[in-house]
Structure 1
């Protein structure tokens, strides 16, 4: 619980979600729930906590450039009211240019908006020598695009050995904490 209290959140107002609104959880293995059963992934935990449909569209190993190509089909298929974007970890691991990640994240936000959805951006930690810290690119995108933002949650979780299933993925307790951090943003933004 201390982790959540320590997380900073940038909250832009969100439209209140009805019980029938769909949330699209979009990302890579952190969204998919690598390291745990599908019921313990953050989208599943979030759905049970807030009583809304949360579609898990996480693809392990996906780069943000591939995600950008995949997103339009998902927006059309699910017609979500809200998209939670948690993407970019594989870009860091494969040493992709940070400018490309920034561009891709901005395009994802714009695609979601163009489809009538609001956005929450989840910062993904950038591995650095002996530590993890949230990449500043997420704060920059959140500020420039005026979207709700979950900062520090993943870097705090992945900094604790007892919250990880491996070097780069949370365990069930870690995903629970991530879901709680996203729920806190939804609550603060008056979306639930």
Structure 2
């Protein structure tokens, strides 16, 4: 499993001079040469998972996170792809917008899975900003990796910020997918979100069993694209 190390991602963010709540339209410069990030194997494109702590696998072993489980399926079918986990815990859509250029520069991308926005919703950030940031990420992928197939992973949030905000948040993903003609996973945590036994004590991050179900949901969408 190829990972963009947390230390490397942190250096990229520091170099960009931004934090996860900024919405400045700037690109993260390439980190110093001493910061190595794994790239796809020669001759193989990447299935790049670009997300937050759910993608990063917070609270579980690296090989238990859903991107690693997708890698197992890819390898078992001898498909010519390298799976890259570019998840970063705590990431917002603004943070993703800041580091997308650097992440894309590390390897050719065949499939790009975008899983961001959940932390925006939990913080009650303006959805207009989330929409702009996700759109900017999509635009950047299409510019730098025009052959990549983009998958948007939809998220949902509890009604803590009010039912109207939660409803608008849920609709946002379908609207972005329709506008950009993307492949949509309606809800990444289908059959996992809100089920206590499938989530860790925080009620947000899946357990290993939960990640297995997430991987099934993702695989149903990604497999036809490979």
Q: Distance in 1 between matches of 2:143 and 2:158?
A: 32
Q: How does 1:77-116 map to 2 (within 5 A)?
A: 77-116=106-145
Q: Distance in 2 between matches of 1:27 and 1:21?
A: 19
5+ residue gaps, structure 1: 1-18
TM-aligned CA deviation for residue 178 of structure 1:
1.3
The TM-score, its normalising length taken from structure 2, stands at 0.71
Q: Distance in 2 between matches of 1:122 and 1:94?
A: 19
TM-aligned CA deviation for residue 155 of structure 1:
4.8
Partner of 2:174: 139
Query: What secondary structure sits across from 2:90 in the alignment?
Result: coil
Q: Say yes or no: does 1:32 pair with 2:56.
A: yes
* Structure 1 stretch displaced more, 149-158 or 105-114: 149-158
Contact 2:135–2:176 (Cα < 8 Å) also in 1? yes
- Equivalent residues, number: 172
Please identify which structure carries the higher strand content: 1
Q: Distance in 2 between matches of 1:182 and 1:155?
A: 10
* Higher gyration radius (CA): 2
5+ residue gaps, structure 2: 1-42, 76-80
TM-aligned CA deviation for residue 21 of structure 1:
2.1
Aligned counterpart in structure 1 of residue 89 of structure 2, from 60, 80, 83: 60
Quote the RMSD (CA, aligned, Å). Answer: 2.1
The TM-score, its normalising length taken from structure 1, stands at 0.82
Higher relative contact order (CA 8 A, sep 6+): 1
